[in-house]
């Protein structure tokens, strides 16, 4: 009984848990900060647009392949309340004032996310608390179950 008390209830190494895969994707995305935005881009050689960046880092981290567009990614993810977001969750925005998702980023913790903003700009970190992102925020989504 004493040994059973000391043994972890879940013997799965942390590196194999879903949360670790989400964190790996976020860290991978951070490695692209400063790289130029490229409309339609899906790889590091050509560059990335917002959904291309998300799709690429999630696949490289061994997570499921998501649809190509931010709107379809939103539909394919499970909604998450902002206060329950974890590193690697996706954040979705309407930057065209159309009431539809057209931009996606990856939450990296401490109220920040990484994304490929638009033509002429570079992949960067921004704060969700910035007025622009707050007013255009649609919601957050998770691409896999954590339990």
> Could you give the residue numbers annotated as active site?
50, 103, 115
Who's near 8: CB < 8 A, 6+ residues apart?
A: none
Calpha distance 3→37 (Å, rounded) = 54
Calpha distance 31→106 (Å, rounded) = 13
The answer to whether the CB of 46 falls within 8 A of the CB of 113 is: no
The answer to whether the CB of 35 falls within 8 A of the CB of 25 is: no
């Amino acid at each position: 009984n004493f040994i059973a008390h000391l043994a972890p209830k879940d013997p799965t190494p942390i590196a194999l848990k879903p949360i670790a895969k989400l964190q790996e994707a976020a860290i991978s995305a951070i490695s692209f900060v400063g790289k130029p935005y490229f409309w339609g881009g899906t790889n590091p050689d050509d560059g990335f647009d917002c959904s291309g960046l998300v799709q690429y880092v999630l696949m490289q981290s061994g997570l499921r392949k998501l649809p190509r567009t931010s709107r379809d990614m939103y539909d394919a993810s499970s909604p998450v309340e902002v206060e329950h977001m974890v590193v690697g969750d996706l954040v979705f925005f309407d930057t065209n004032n159309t009431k539809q998702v057209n931009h996606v980023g990856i939450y990296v913790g401490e109220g920040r996310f990484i994304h490929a903003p638009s033509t002429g700009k570079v992949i960067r970190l921004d704060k969700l608390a910035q007025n622009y992102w707050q007013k255009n925020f649609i919601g957050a989504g998770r691409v896999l179950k954590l339990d």
